[in-house]
Amino acid sequence: MKFAVVAFPGSSCDDYLYVLKEVLKQEAASISHRDTSLQDAQCVILPGGSSYGDYLRPGALASLSPIMDKVREFAKEGGLVLGIGNGFQILLETGLLPGAMLPNSSLRFVCRQQTLKVENANTPFTGCYAQGQIIQMPIAHGQGNYYLDPASLKKLQENNQIVFRYTDEAGNATEEANPNGSVDNIAGIINQGGNVLGMMPHPERSCEAALGSTGGLGLFQSAIEFLAERVKA
């Protein structure tokens, strides 16, 4: 199996399976949070939604699921892990990515089409984008205000770990273009090993023009191409 989508109670797995199977014609299946094996998955997706109703803190309870031990091991071995929305929050709670998520600075949920800039096109998830490309994707979250202490942020910047920023249409990371108050307009980051990506915007909602944008298509295509190359090598 190529893509495994982890099903936590309250996750919206079906959206991811639909995009992977029906739109991208990929082999994909869901794995229960209770499972203790990732089977032969080549890329693990922690999906969006509201696992455990976002109780305690978004992602906090899901990060303690049995399957997460396996996801940690898988990531350590260099396996591709993609956390989207709530999945990003789970990655932060698991410690696979640095930082923490605060409530949006407006203190309101926000759902809209958002402009993003691809800040690092040299990752397994962004190879199909051009460096600096401006793309559109929907966001939908109440707690997407990414926070990191200044020293760690500096490290993140220096290591080129910021993958997506919220920007205006000209690519400027302005305060007005920041929908949730995230530090440095951060929308998505990757780990130092370059195999674990977390992002708040929803690429799975952005793979068909009929739904309003196609900015997310490149993300899945990049991962598919990366995996194909990896198999060849």
Tell me whether residue 12 or residue 195 sits nearer to other proteins (CB atom).
12
Is the Cβ of residue 24 or residue 110 nearer to other proteins in the bound state?
Answer: 110
Give me the least distance between CB of 180 and other proteins, in Å please. 12
Single residue of 77, 158, 169, 210 touching other proteins by CB under 8 A: 210
Window 19 to 58, contacts with other proteins (CB under 8 A): 19, 22, 49-50, 52-55
111 lies in the binding site for other proteins (CB under 8 A): yes
Backbone φ and ψ for 85, nearest 5 degrees, come out as 60, -115
Q: Which is nearer to other proteins, 130 or 211 (CB)?
A: 211
CB nearer other proteins, residue 161 or residue 206: 206
Closest CB 19 distance from other proteins, rounded Å: 7
Q: How far is the CB of 193 from other proteins (least distance, A)?
A: 31
Euclidean distance between CA atoms 181 and 112, whole angstroms: 15
125-164: which residues touch other proteins (CB under 8 A)? 138, 140, 142
Q: Which residues bind other proteins (CB under 8 A)?
A: 9-10, 12, 14-15, 18-19, 22, 49-50, 52-55, 108-112, 138, 140, 142, 202, 204-205, 210-212
